[in-house]
């Protein structure tokens, strides 16, 4: 059975390195960046993105239904690769 390169089964697959050890490191670094207020502040300043995760269940359901959560993480992943991970 053939396996896909790391990250290819995720909507973020186009941002994740294809090499499995690099993909693991990328996910770990992305999680760190998403939890770092300084990194998030720089992302928001650079991109103008103001979305923040909903605090309650209803807010989170609305974010998921409208795609706001996915749009944020995709924009962040693209910015992250250029500004944190170091890919053009």
Q: What is the per-residue pLDDT across 62-88, written as a single tens digit (0 to 9) for each?
A: 999 999 999 999 999 999 999 999 975
- The answer to whether residue 11 is domain-embedded is no
- Residue 5 within a domain: no
User: Which tens digit of pLDDT belongs to each residue from 5-53?
Assistant: 555 568 899 999 999 999 999 999 999 999 999 999 999 999 999 999 8
pTM attached to this predicted model: 0.82
- d(CA 50, CA 76) in angstroms, rounded, equals 12
Does 63 fall in a domain? yes
Distances (CA, A) of 12 to 4, 18, 21, 38: 14, 12, 16, 23
DSSP assignment letter at 28? H
**pLDDT interval class at 4 (50, 70, 90):** very low
The residue range of the domain holding 39 is: 20-83
Q: Distance between CA atoms of 30 and 86, rounded to whole angstroms?
A: 12
């Amino acid at each position: 059975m053939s396996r896909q390169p790391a990250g290819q089964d995720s909507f973020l697959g186009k941002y994740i390195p294809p090499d499995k050890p690099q993909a693991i490191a990328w996910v770990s670094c992305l999680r760190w960046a998403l939890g770092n207020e300084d990194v998030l502040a720089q992302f928001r300043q650079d991109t103008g993105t103001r979305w923040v995760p909903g605090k309650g269940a209803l807010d989170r359901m609305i974010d998921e239904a409208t795609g706001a959560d996915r749009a944020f993480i995709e924009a962040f992943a693209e910015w992250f690769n250029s500004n944190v991970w170091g890919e053009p």
